[in-house]
Amino acid sequence: MRRQLVQFGIFLTGLTTLSLAHSSDLIAFGKECLAKEERLKAAKDELDALSLSTHRTQGQTHHARNDVDLYQEEKAELEAIIADCAATDPNSAYCHQIRYQYNEINYLIQRAKEESIKEIEDVDHAYIEYDLVRIDFNEQYEAFIAYCRNSDAHYALLQSPTAYAAVCSNENAKRSITCSLF
């Protein structure tokens, strides 16, 4: 009888040790998932900032295109005035001033077109960079969800009071994906 009690005691000690080891694994799992989740939040913030920057760059491109359009309108008005000057008094100071303004507008149009082309290239590069970062983020997020939320270890973490208390002890952790069921 004594031998059976000793064997039963050893068996219970083994189960307790196994349970504590399993809890330690769950705690390590939970802390690893919380760390991954924090890195994903930081990456999401960077992605949002990159998105804002991309949209801001696109707005600047529209500004350059609007400048070209305004300069073209002004150029058309000056061409009409130059035609009138040529018909009336082509060598007057007024006509020289109009031709000077016309040349300035042509220069501004050329410069605005060059800036517009450069800005379009910048927008294209910004969109490409944003898309690459977004795709990478989505892949990392899906891997995180598969590992840290849709796994047996996650459900075991939520079911183990010891592991849950160790990992999800503060309010920020309790609101995390790692510490919530859904």
pLDDT tens digit sequence for 50-83: 888 777 776 666 666 788 888 999 999 989 998 9
In angstroms, how far is the first alpha carbon of the chain from the final one?
50
How high is the pLDDT of residue 2? 55
**What six digits make up the tokens of 35?**
């760390």
CA-only gyration radius of the chain, Å? 35
State pTM to two decimals: 0.60
> What pLDDT, on a 0 to 100 scale, did the predictor assign at position 8?
45
According to the model, what pLDDT value does residue 23 have? 59
- Over residues 149-171, mean pLDDT: 88
Contacts 24+ apart (CB under 8 A), 154-162: 154/29, 154/33, 154/178, 156/22, 156/26, 157/26, 157/29, 157/30, 160/22, 160/23, 160/26, 162/23, 162/27
What pLDDT sits at residue 101?
92
